[in-house]
């Protein structure tokens, strides 16, 4: 039987008192790729930001309803978890790649630094593995100390996925990860996402259906602020 990773019930989201998401209800399967599609401005990104509470840094946002994540066989409301713990369990990759202004190595190792891990060998090994998992190792292995900002858009996006995956989050949210890339880079990302299926739960927001539909296990449609399965 398929395990449910995220349960959403009666989720309402308001921005400056205006409703964006209305009574959302749905479930996300564990270790599968779930794609959320829908027209522009319908609240797809907002929905992702609710899952890891990134909306909290934007003034004027208000959330009602239940969003539960399964951790160690227990469902916990995301709002009851400390926000930094939640974000380490629920990683996010943005539409436009956002490497930090530091070297490739330091970028990927950044989450380990945040977790207080100091063992150099362990950091080195994990960075290497993460870059390999993101199909980026061969392209950057000789220039790990170069600035991550010098990479191409597609490479930067894979670097961001490697960075998000290094601490093995339980859920990875991807907000239109291919929309700012050319077709070749987008295909690489799609292949990468397929390879991550089974390692963690992936929720991909996409404006374009063709590419993501091919790799998705299930598709949820967000329309007029409501989810349709």
Which tokens is 176 given? 């239109």
Listed ranges 66-74, 80-88, 131-139, 207-215: which one lies at the site for another protein (CB under 8 A) = 80-88
Alpha-carbon gap, residue 196 to 134, rounded angstroms: 9
Of 12, 147, 168, 209, the one binding another protein (CB under 8 A) is 147
Alpha-carbon gap, residue 27 to 140, rounded angstroms: 38
Of 21, 35, 70, 94, the one binding another protein (CB under 8 A) is 94
Q: Helix, strand, or coil here: 225? A: coil
Listed ranges 13-21, 78-86, 187-195, 214-222: which one lies at the site for another protein (CB under 8 A) = 78-86
Select 95 or 209, whichever has its Cβ closest to another protein: 95
> Residue 50, interface with another protein (CB under 8 A)?
no
Of 5, 44, 163, 188, the one binding another protein (CB under 8 A) is 163
Q: Looking at the DSSP assignment, which residues form a beta bridge with residue 37?
A: 206, 221
Looking up tokens 């959330």 gives: 63
Which tokens is 148 given? 């991550």
Which tokens is 107 given? 């970028």
Mask: binding to another protein, 10-49, rule CB under 8 A, as x and -?
----------------------------------------
> Residue 62, interface with another protein (CB under 8 A)?
no
Q: Helix, strand, or coil here: 61? A: strand
Quote the strand ranges of the chain, DSSP E: 4-15, 18-29, 33-37, 61-71, 74-77, 90-93, 171-175, 201-206, 218-223, 226-228
Rounded to the nearest whole angstrom, what is the least distance from the CB of residue 144 to another protein in the complex?
Answer: 13
> Which of the residues 106 through 145 are near another protein (CB under 8 A)?
110-111, 113-114
Phi and psi for 164 in degrees, rounded to 5?
-70, -30
Which tokens is 52 given? 């890891």
Of 6, 54, 63, 181, the one binding another protein (CB under 8 A) is 54
Alpha-carbon gap, residue 189 to 178, rounded angstroms: 7
Point out which residues bind another protein (CB under 8 A).
52, 54, 56-57, 59, 83-88, 91-92, 94, 96, 98-103, 110-111, 113-114, 147, 160, 163-164
């Amino acid at each position: 039987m398929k395990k449910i990773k995220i349960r959403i019930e009666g989720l309402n989201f308001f921005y400056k008192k205006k409703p964006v998401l209305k009574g959302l209800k749905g479930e996300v399967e564990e270790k599968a790729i779930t794609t959320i599609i829908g027209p522009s401005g319908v609240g797809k990104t907002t929905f992702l930001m609710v899952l890891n509470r990134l909306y909290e840094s934007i003034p004027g946002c208000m959330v009602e309803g239940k969003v539960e994540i399964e951790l160690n066989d227990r469902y916990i409301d995301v709002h009851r978890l400390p926000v930094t713990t939640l974000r380490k369990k629920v990683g996010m990759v943005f539409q436009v790649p956002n490497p930090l202004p530091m070297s490739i190595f330091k970028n990927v190792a950044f989450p380990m630094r945040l977790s207080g891990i100091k063992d150099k060998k362990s950091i080195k090994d994990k960075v290497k593995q993460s870059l390999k998992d993101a199909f980026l190792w061969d392209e950057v292995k000789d220039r790990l100390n170069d600035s991550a900002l010098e990479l191409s858009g597609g490479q930067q996006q894979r670097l961001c996925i490697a960075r998000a995956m290094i601490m093995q989050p339980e859920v990875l949210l991807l907000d239109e990860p291919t929309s700012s890339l050319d077709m070749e880079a987008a295909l690489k990302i799609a292949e990468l996402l397929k390879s991550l299926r089974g390692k963690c739960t992936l929720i991909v927001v996409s404006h374009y259906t063709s590419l993501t539909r091919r790799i998705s296990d299930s598709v949820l449609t967000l329309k007029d602020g409501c989810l349709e399965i």
